[in-house]
Amino acid sequence: MTTKEIWLKRLKEKGLRITSQREAIVDVLLNSEKALDSMEVFDLVHKDHPSMGIVTVYRTMDCLEHLGLLQKVHQDSGCNKFLRLKEGHHHLLICSNCGKAVYFEGLNFGDQFEKVAQQNDFLLQDHWLQLSGLCPRCQKI
């Protein structure tokens, strides 16, 4: 089962309908290696679906986020971009030039974070870690 099929199945399970617009938006999101905002998705989708309205993009992105398929990514360039969410625990490495996003695992600072929280009498709930730099391609430019 492809990722697209999984996503569409997820929509169906919630009683939501599969429309050609939603399929087109999902296609764009699954084929992008960087986080996209609604306007960027709209522009990309518009080529094949000239009649699609921007409002449908906003609504669909929102819907996919609520289903846990997309996540918001925070960057200096804005906090309204969405990236396909990867299952499990991981962090993000983002190219500061082109926006390419890579999930990585292997770092586990849980104990240290817990210690810092205790030192400040906080009850730790979550953490947020993101690395930024230049991806291989952008280093060569």
Partner DNA sequence: TTGATAATGAAAATCACTATCAATAAGAAA
Partner DNA sequence: TTTCTTATTGATAGTGATTTTCATTATCAA
Residue 58 touches which of a second copy, DNA, none (Cβ within 5-8 Å per kind): DNA
21 counts as binding a second copy under rule CB under 8 A: no
Using CB under 7 A, pick the residue from 18, 30, 107, 116 that binds DNA.
18
Using CB under 7 A, pick the residue from 60, 64, 70, 100 that binds DNA.
60
Q: What 3-state class would DSSP assign to 101?
A: strand
17 counts as binding DNA under rule CB under 7 A: yes
Question: CA end-to-end span of the chain, whole Å?
Answer: 38
112 counts as binding a second copy under rule CB under 8 A: yes
Residue 109: which residues within 8 A CB-CB, separation 6 or more? 127, 129
Residue 128 touches which of DNA, a second copy, none (Cβ within 5-8 Å per kind): a second copy
Cα(56)–Cα(33) distance, integer angstroms: 22
Site for DNA in 81-140 (CB under 7 A): none
Per DSSP, the residues of 65-93 read HHTTSEEEEEETTEEEEEEEPPSSS-EEE
| Stretch of residues binding DNA (CB under 7 A), selected from 14-22, 92-100, 119-127, 133-141 | 14-22
List of residues contacting DNA (CB under 7 A): 11-12, 15-22, 37-39, 49, 51-56, 58-60, 62, 80
